[in-house]
Amino acid sequence: MVNKTTTQDKILDAAEQLFASTGFADTSLRQITSMAQVNLAAVNYHFGSKKELIQSVLQRYLSVLMPRLDQEFSQLLASQKQNDLTAVLSVFIKPLLELNKVQHHGTRMFLQLLGRGYTDVQGHLRWFFNHHYGRTLDKFVLLVQQACPDLPASEIFWRLHFSLGTVVFTMASNQALQEIAAADFNENVEIEGVIHRLIPYLAAGIASPLTLASQTH
Amino acid sequence: MVNKTTTQDKILDAAEQLFASTGFADTSLRQITSMAQVNLAAVNYHFGSKKELIQSVLQRYLSVLMPRLDQEFSQLLASQKQNDLTAVLSVFIKPLLELNKVQHHGTRMFLQLLGRGYTDVQGHLRWFFNHHYGRTLDKFVLLVQQACPDLPASEIFWRLHFSLGTVVFTMASNQALQEIAAADFNENVEIEGVIHRLIPYLAAGIASPLTLASQTH
DNA sequence: GTACATTTCAAACAAGTGTTTTAATTTAGT
DNA sequence: ACTAAATTAAAACACTTGTTTGAAATGTAC
């Protein structure tokens, strides 16, 4: 037997694709099982419920990505040299692009899914993520604080969430954006190109000087 | 008879609140009509369909906001002086905050709805917006281009969408963010405060210098 | 090959959805 | 006050959703 894909994997692959393009709420189990060419009941048999299927789809990527990120963060924290913001943000690039190895269109799909996960959110995904990977996130925040010693913690909080918005939104609507860019500017940017445009934008925003306005409000 | 609120308004008020907190897809007409204390069929009678109700909820704000913005943009375009980015972005502040006059928690609700509208999007809202307010949007893009003459149009395209992501995401999760900020930093920031933190962040990101990386990808 | 556990399958289930229908009621015009 | 239009009301409709059931099929160990 060559290259036997299990029922679980067929479901995960189909679900991933449909969730990314249609969202979690607007994708039915019947769509998923039909595309995966498995029986409807297989989802509940193998994953328990739709909610657990959603988590499994994300977990397939997160379980690879997050330990890698954690390791990179720890390494940067250990090296005592002064890290600038661009360097800290660039840590994401390699681990993210390596997701293409776990699945065919790994990076793009995963980021799009992550976008969906944060916007469709009813709560359980947010909890799931913080519960499993909160420690890793803390290391990242610490690195940003070290790179921006002049910014108060509250300001960094807001700016990191602003940045999260940029990333999440860009990735959730990545496909549409790339199509527009291709049509309007004859630009064929892969996901890698978007990431490289993103980092200087984010770095400039996060490190922007404190203004009088932002202090008095 | 004093202060008679029509059925339509009762529906709009309830729908607005539920859409903002639960999203469009996850809010049922029965929830809406029950909160509004009107008959279920009233939605289809007065608005035609759920889809049209969603558009009406947004339209109540957009029909006030967009003409005001359009006027401000035209005014800036007419004045021949060199506009810097912060000035262009600041144009949004006053018209946005004036939405509080059309409804009690106007600005916050509207921005949260707008966030939902762009993330839940199945397409019809995006079309609706571009169809009605595309011209106004073009003026804004022109102003940004004038403020950043060194940036190619394609780069501006990407950075404006990055910024859109920040705004949309921040507003969609505005309530949660304010609660966290209040708990962690003893900060009680109103919507106005968030906007004033947002503008320098966005301005710095949009105007960030071109790097080698962003040019070669 | 028999026995046991795992997996697949078709069908039904219970609950929820947006929408339509038909009749009752209220409102407005003359 | 009468008539006609606009609005409200309760009920049913047609459909989709996630989940469960119980029997058939498949795989595995002895």
DSSP state string for A154-204: HHHHHHHHHHHHHHHHHHHTHHHHHHHHHHHH-----HHHHHHHHHHHHHH
Contact A26 B26 (CB under 8 A): no
Residue A191 is predicted with a pLDDT of 79
Q: How confident is the model at residue B179 (pLDDT cuts 50, 70, 90)?
A: confident
* Residue that wins the pLDDT comparison between A217 and B195: B195
| Distance of alpha carbon B64 from the chain centroid | 12
B118 touches B164 (CB < 8 A): yes
B107 touches B99 (CB < 8 A): yes
Q: Which chain A residue shows the shortest CA-CA distance from B161?
A: A170
Q: Residue B188: inside a domain, yes or no?
A: yes
Give the residue with minimal CA–C1' separation from D21: A41
* Residue B152 phi, psi (nearest 5): -65, 155
Q: How confident is the model at residue A212 (pLDDT cuts 50, 70, 90)?
A: low
Q: Residue A194: inside a domain, yes or no?
A: yes
Q: How confident is the model at residue A140 (pLDDT cuts 50, 70, 90)?
A: very high
Look up tokens 């790179």; give the residue. Answer: A147
Q: Residue B38, CB, less than 7 Å from strand D?
A: yes
Residue B214 has pLDDT above 60, yes or no: no
Contact B162 A207 (CB under 8 A): no
A175 touches B125 (CB < 8 A): no
Q: Which of A89, A125, A197 is the best mutation test for B, with the most CBs of B within 10 A?
A: A197
Q: Residue A27, CB, less than 7 Å from strand D?
A: yes
Q: Residue A46, CB, less than 7 Å from strand D?
A: no
Q: Which residues of chain A make contact with B166, given a CB cutoff of 8 A?
A: 162-163, 165-166, 169, 205
Cα–Cα distance, B81 to B87 (Å, whole number): 12
A141 touches B180 (CB < 8 A): no
* Residue that wins the pLDDT comparison between A92 and B81: A92
Residue A4 is predicted with a pLDDT of 67
**Residue B47, CA: closest nucleotide via C1'?**
C19
- Determine the average pLDDT of the residues in A95-109: 75
Helix residue ranges per DSSP H, B148-190: 153-172, 174-185
* Residue A28 phi, psi (nearest 5): -95, 155
| Number of DSSP helices (H) and strands (E) in chain B, helices first | 12, 0
Q: Residue A191: inside a domain, yes or no?
A: yes
Give the residue with minimal CA–C1' separation from D20: A41
Q: Residue A21: inside a domain, yes or no?
A: no
Q: Residue A49, CB, less than 7 Å from strand D?
A: yes
Residue A212 is part of a domain; what is its CATH number? 1.10.357.10
Q: How confident is the model at residue A1 (pLDDT cuts 50, 70, 90)?
A: very low
Q: Which residues of chain B make contact with A207, given a CB cutoff of 8 A?
A: 204
Q: Which two tokens stand for residue A211?
A: 């203004």
Residue B212 is predicted with a pLDDT of 63
Cα–Cα distance, B104 to B33 (Å, whole number): 20
Q: C-alpha distances in angstroms, A3 versus A101, A188, B106, B172?
A: 16, 33, 57, 44
| Distance of alpha carbon B61 from the chain centroid | 9
Q: Which residues of chain B make contact with A189, given a CB cutoff of 8 A?
A: 217
Residue B130 has pLDDT above 50, yes or no: yes
Contact A162 B211 (CB under 8 A): no
Cα–Cα distance, B118 to A97 (Å, whole number): 27
Residue B1 has pLDDT above 50, yes or no: no
Q: Residue B144: inside a domain, yes or no?
A: yes
B193 vs A162, A192, A217: nearest CB: A217
Cα–Cα distance, A169 to A43 (Å, whole number): 29
Residue B52 is predicted with a pLDDT of 92
Cα–Cα distance, A205 to B204 (Å, whole number): 5
A12 touches A60 (CB < 8 A): yes
Q: Which two tokens stand for residue A147?
A: 């790179």
Instruction: For residue A109, give the nearest of A97, A118, A93, A120 by alpha carbon.
Output: A97
Instruction: For residue A34, give the nearest of A47, A46, A17, A49 by alpha carbon.
Output: A17
* Residue that wins the pLDDT comparison between B23 and A46: A46
B119 vs A172, A189, A202: nearest CB: A172
Portion of chain B with pLDDT greater than 90, in percent: 44
Q: How confident is the model at residue B151 (pLDDT cuts 50, 70, 90)?
A: very high
Cα–Cα distance, A161 to B113 (Å, whole number): 19
CA of A38 to C1' of D19 (A): 16
CA of A214 to C1' of C23 (A): 61
Q: How confident is the model at residue A2 (pLDDT cuts 50, 70, 90)?
A: very low
CA of B16 to C1' of D8 (A): 22
Helices B174-185 and A153-172 pack at an angle, to 10 degrees, of 160
**SS3 category, B82:** coil
How many separate domains does chain A show?
A: 1
Q: Residue A71, CB, less than 7 Å from strand D?
A: no
CA of A121 to C1' of D11 (A): 35
Residue A116 has pLDDT above 80, yes or no: no
Q: Which residues of chain A make contact with B205, given a CB cutoff of 8 A?
A: 166, 201-202, 204-205, 208
* Residue B79 phi, psi (nearest 5): -65, 125
**Residue B32, CA: closest nucleotide via C1'?**
C18
The length of chain B is 217
Q: Residue B118: inside a domain, yes or no?
A: yes
Name every residue whose Cβ is closer than 8 Å to that of residue A115 and which is 6 or more positions away in sequence: A167, A168, A169, A170, A171, A172, A173, A174
Name every residue whose Cβ is closer than 8 Å to that of residue A194 and which is 6 or more positions away in sequence: A170, A174, A177, A178, B158
Look up tokens 């990505």; give the residue. Answer: A65
Q: What is the pLDDT of residues B4-48, one digit of tens each?
A: 688 999 999 999 989 888 888 889 999 999 999 999 999 999 999
Cα–Cα distance, B194 to B188 (Å, whole number): 10
- Determine the average pLDDT of the residues in A196-207: 94
B164 vs A26, A169, A203: nearest CB: A169
Q: Residue A41, CB, less than 7 Å from strand D?
A: yes
* Residue that wins the pLDDT comparison between B16 and B211: B16
Helices B174-185 and B153-172 pack at an angle, to 10 degrees, of 70
* Residue A29 phi, psi (nearest 5): -60, -30
> What's chain B's average pLDDT?
85
What is the secondary structure of B117-131 as a DSSP string?
Answer: HHHS--SHHHHHHHH
CA of B50 to C1' of D2 (A): 38
For B119, the domain range is 60-209
Q: C-alpha distances in angstroms, A145 versus A162, A207, B191?
A: 16, 10, 25
Instruction: For residue A208, give the nearest of A167, A169, A159 by alpha carbon.
Output: A159
Q: Residue B43, CB, less than 7 Å from strand D?
A: no
Q: Which two tokens stand for residue A81?
A: 């040299």
Q: Residue A39: inside a domain, yes or no?
A: no
Residue A120 is predicted with a pLDDT of 59
Q: What is the pLDDT of residues A49-70, one digit of tens each?
A: 999 999 899 898 889 899 999 9
CA of A49 to C1' of D15 (A): 22
Cα–Cα distance, A104 to A186 (Å, whole number): 25
